[in-house]
Chains A and B, each alone.
Chain A
Amino acid sequence: MSKARGLADFGNAYSDGALSNRNLIINGDMKISQLGTSFTGVTHGTYTLDRWELNEDSAAEFTITQSSETPDGFGSSIKLDVTTADTSVGSADYVVFEQRIEGYNAQSFGSGTSNAKPHTVSFRVRSNVTGTYICELKYDTGGYEASQAYTIDAADTWEYKVLVFPPQTLSAPANDNSAELRVSFWLLAGSNYTGGGTLSTQWTTTDNVRAVGQTNLVASTSNEIYFTGVQLEVGDTATPFEHRSYGEELAACQRYFQLYPKDTVVTGSCYNNDPDWYFPFVFPEMRAAPTVTFSNNPLIFCNNENSATTSVTSSSNNDNIKSIRLQAQSAAVGSAGQAGWLQLNAANSYFTLDAEL
């Protein structure tokens, strides 16, 4: 890029209202993956690397990994490796790799007003399957979608893509913590999404023009695709990828998902002689009250003894986004008034708080 071009883009970014925090995508450079670096048998509704979800109606399955195969200037990418192919594509079949953006973060486009601004998506992509692919933006309020096609021109080569989507003047996103805008990369589309003739690059609620021309990436278990450097910004100009520090990116991800590893300790006390234990747990504020999942039953330590819990559940005042009470039982330790702590001892054990969209 020439210096003059760079300065012009910088000026455009300024005019569009953002010289920092331009990128509305969280973990666009795929550096955060709290839950692990490799996920096998991935199907519909699965979050893998932080904030990124695979959704599908298809027989396809994937191994998804945080990969060190990257273009220059990036440390990580996400690799979607097809492990079960979908060679008999039904009309309703689809596979998308996507990120949902909550309403609080989707206001800067001015969507739903006459002063709405364009949206620009830029990203790096690499695949062994060349051809036409679709990237789509969708507003949940109103259900308006717009798509742009891009081509992977050379196999197994990183390519930089820039797609500009028009202003959306039809429906304003809610200014709250709900899912309001999503960025979707299509990997497979059945005729319900392709049969309408011409891809809709304008905002529409018509399904059969959403992914016209989409290549079937999942046609073979030999196929794979990588993404990194994904950026969504206000305006019609793609600026350089906004690199945030690891700590900043992790904190942003933890609004949606938090993992507490082996040996995390939560102190509490025994409530009665059943015995029921309560462990108050305070955490950085999340988007919504979180779902709690333990990979293994933790131990309760009390009075120089420890014992496996027989159950652990959570309770909260319904929409508490900063704390929960963990309620645990163990047949072997505890009497009313005793103090103790809850601890995960098993190798590779963890518990998670999930407030994803």
Chain B
Amino acid sequence: MDEMKITLVKYNWDKLSNKNGSIQATIDGTEMSVPLDPANRHYAEILRQVNAGTLTIADAD
């Protein structure tokens, strides 16, 4: 099965809570803010690709 094409992946730093607030990623050509919720399909796929060793999430700026 084809998988989501995920590039340009990095955490977004939330200055209010002083922690990572989401992930900024380009998924199938569209830039998105992905919440850190395993029930979110985009985050689940990011985690799957990270665990498979095919994707790395960069630290927040």
Contact = CB atoms under 8 A, between A and B. Distances in A.
B39 to A, nearest CB: 4
A249 interface: no
Interface residues of B, number: 25
A177 interface: yes
Contacts of A315: 12, 14, 16-17, 21-22, 33
A318 B15 contact: no
Contacts of A272: 15
B36 interface: yes
Contacts of A325: 14, 16, 21
Interface of A is mostly: loop
Contacts of B14: 315, 325, 327
Contacts of A56: 2
B59 to A, nearest CB: 14
Contacts of A178: 39
B35 A290 contact: yes
Interface in B1-56: 1-2, 4, 12, 14-17, 21-22, 24, 28, 30-37, 39-43
Q: Which residue, B15, B21, B40, B42, has most C-beta atoms of chain A within 10 A? A: B40
Interface residues on A, range: 35 or more
A24 interface: no
A318 B12 contact: no
A178 B38 CA distance: 10
A278 B36 CA distance: 19
A162 interface: no
A257 B57 CA distance: 25
Interface of A: 43-45, 55-57, 177-178, 271-272, 276, 278, 287-293, 312-320, 324-325, 327, 354-357
27 contacts: A43-B2, A45-B4, A57-B1, A178-B39, A272-B15, A276-B15, A289-B40, A290-B35, A291-B33, A291-B43, A293-B33, A313-B22, A313-B24, A313-B33, A314-B21, A314-B22, A314-B35, A316-B35, A316-B37, A317-B17, A318-B37, A320-B35, A325-B21, A327-B14, A327-B21, A354-B42, A355-B40
